Amino acid sequence: MGVMLNFPFSSTFPLAYNAFIQLLLSSFIIFANKKFFLSGLKSLFNFSPTMDSLVSLGSGSAFLYGVFSCIKIFNGNAKYFSNLYFESACIILFFVKFGKFLESKAKTKTNSAIASLLKLSPKSASVEKNGVEIDTDIENINPDDIVIMRAGGKVPSDGIIIEGNGALDISAVTGESLPVDKTVGDTITSASIVKDGYFKMKILKPASESFLSNIIKITEAACASKAPIARVADSVSAVFVPIVITISAVCAAYWLLKGSSFEFALSTAISVLIISCPCTLGLATPAAITVGMGKAAKMRILFKNAQILEELSKVTVVVFDKTGALTSGKLSLTKIITLKNTSEKEALFLCASLENLSQHPIAKAIMERCKNENTTLAKPDNFKQIFGKGIKATIDGKEIVCGNKDFLESEGVFLNLKELRNENLSKIETVIYLAQQKELIAILSFSDTIKEQSFCAIEALKKMKIKTVLLSGDNKETSHFIGGKIGIEQIISEVIPQEKEQVISKLQNKGEKVAMVGDGINDAPALAKANVGFAIGAGSEIALESSDIILTSNNPLDVVLSLKLSYEVLRNIKQNLFWAFFYNILLIPVAGGVFFQSYGLKLNPMYAAAAMSLSSLFVIGNALRIKVPK
């Protein structure tokens, strides 16, 4: 554009060479972005125009008219040099391409939920054959095989215990907050983890048909059923493109009927297409989303899909898992009731001295309390642990017994049940008893604590007119106690993973837009099925992979912040769409020659480029105004 701007060097450079270089350079750009023209023209011919259709028409028309002008220039007609629209053709492609670049940077890779599920299954297991223990791949395990399980092992497939016992962490499967004791005759499922104990199990199903495999199939189906979010730009273009093409054709026909030259009529028609092409339409959505996701990342909220911000703004129901999402998922010692003139400090000392040798979750809760209070422990003698019941040992020559009710009674300790009822122990709490020399001296109560932020989150969602649901695999009494205390409107308990996914489907069939918040394997199908899936950062790998949003701070209040951010971003996108069209539409009458006869005013390609640049600046500047919600 040196000649048009009267640059000193331009006068020494032949116009024909200048035109040829512009043609050559812009040809490379047009070819490099040929996919816009292929998809845009294809959708136009199929009567379903998109933003690519408008881009291909505007940029293509500017380029073709530039080629026409080059031919005139090569034939000695220098006046056509001012009709070279190559810079407009390339600027259109640049801004749209830049918008798509921002959009791609805002997105993350497609989640690998199915691959993560497969990782949860052990690659091998210890199988007993003819009295000999051998390691084998789980693919080779068949029904009726005997598998040996030890502490820390993952159950390879569904089966039944035939010898020994163990404490299994099944929270990832059912949502149960505490390890469950299993013994001979009890069935166990794949994906369970042995926390303590030793047992042999008989395999009932091959790994390909196990509980975990079924979860994989459900998650895969739920992921496939998610409909992609329609692009705002394309929906706008579906209406805008036909209107622009019509206006362009009418302008060309009008000036031809008025007796103007073909070049003038064609120039007017192309000017309408150029100025009507809202290249910032490609920036409007990704600019706001990129800024919004950046703000979210600072709040430790990670969106795995940029477009999920739009979907999140439509949510009407938020479904919470209990363990890990609303509660800590970790046992804590909440109460020590002392008897027989025993102090809390003494009771904690005796109990911790015994439990220090155990890896049970209750023992860990006791040791955590001792750590906080700097309790010094004794070394017990004659230590004996009865799996799933309790511990017996001698400290300073006195027999100490710690465990559940049945264990203490079997050791000859009398428990006054009436006296215990008066201690107001909650039925949802886990209780162990401590006895010394056959006399009950203390009762210790443990519970899975509710996160403080859970109360604020539920209250905030109610103010936003969003319905809340508690969906847990835990027992009815515990679920209703937790849900009622927090203030959740609907409570559904004792559901297996397949049923969780069905609950989400039922809500969606009623027209609800559902967000699911969870952290375990049991939540994976529901997270994948929901319109928006939130995974608590400390949750299982499959929950993280099946979700759309990861809350790395493990704070349920971040669900509220995410919703508010989505509202802010969506409002910003709508504002951006306005600015994307404002300048272009304002200059359409000028491009069409409405003011040419009266004022001699006709659109210069530089003005078109300036209008597009200015609208782009408005869009970017407006996107940067997005604030972190409070």
Catalytic annotation, residues = 321
Angle at 405 between CA 400 and CA 408, to 5 degrees: 30
Show the tokens assigned to 337. 């009731």
Question: For residues 435 and 62, what is the distance between their CA atoms, to the nearest angstrom?
Answer: 91
Total Cβ atoms within 10 A of residue 247: 18
Radius of gyration of the chain (CA): 35
222, 215 Cβ separation under 8 angstroms: no
Name the burial class of residue 52, with classes exposed (0-12), middle (13-18) and buried (19+) by CB atoms within 10 angstroms of its CB.
Answer: buried
Q: How many angstroms separate the CA atoms of 614 and 211, rounded?
A: 58
Angle between the N-to-C axes of helices 557-586 and 232-257, in degrees from 0 to 180, rounded to the nearest 10: 0
* Integer CA distances (angstroms), 301 to 237, 289, 316, 534, in order: 32, 14, 20, 10
What are the Cα distances from residue 171, in Å, to 175, 199, 317, 518, 608?
A: 4, 20, 24, 12, 62
Residue 104: CB atoms within 10 A of its CB come to: 10
| 3-class state of residue 514 by DSSP | strand
Which is nearest to 26 in space by CA: 58, 56, 63?
A: 63
Element (H, E) at 443: strand 439-450
Sign of the four-CA dihedral 528, 530, 534, 537: negative
CA distance 403 to 181: 14
Q: Are strands 327-338 and 439-450 parallel, antiparallel or unpaired?
A: antiparallel
Instruction: State how far the alpha carbon of 197 is from the alpha carbons of 87, 131, 165, 188, 548, in Å.
Output: 75, 20, 6, 14, 37
Q: Which residue has the tokens 């209250």?
A: 459
Distance CA 85, CA 57 (A): 13
How far is residue 449's CA from residue 177's CA, in Å, rounded to a whole number?
10
Task: Give the H or E element holding residue 180.
Answer: strand 180-182
112-134 core/surface letters (b: 16 or more CB in 10 A; e: else) = ebbebbeebbbeebbbeeeeeee
Tally Cβ neighbours within 10 Å of residue 13. Answer: 13
Rounded distance between C-alpha atoms, residue 192 and residue 195, angstroms: 9
User: Is there a contact between 276 and 247 (Cβ–Cβ < 8 Å)?
Assistant: yes
Sign of CA dihedral 530, 531, 534, 540: positive
Q: E strand or H helix at 148, and its extent?
A: strand 146-150
CA 484/CA 474 separation, integer angstroms:
14
Per-residue DSSP letter, 231: P
Return d(Cα 403, Cα 409) in angstroms, integer: 10
In angstroms, rounded to a whole number, what is the distance separating the alpha carbons of residues 41 and 46? Answer: 9
Instruction: Round to whole Å and give the CA distance between 206 and 158.
Output: 8
Nearest Cα neighbor of 297 from 459, 537, 474, 34 is: 537
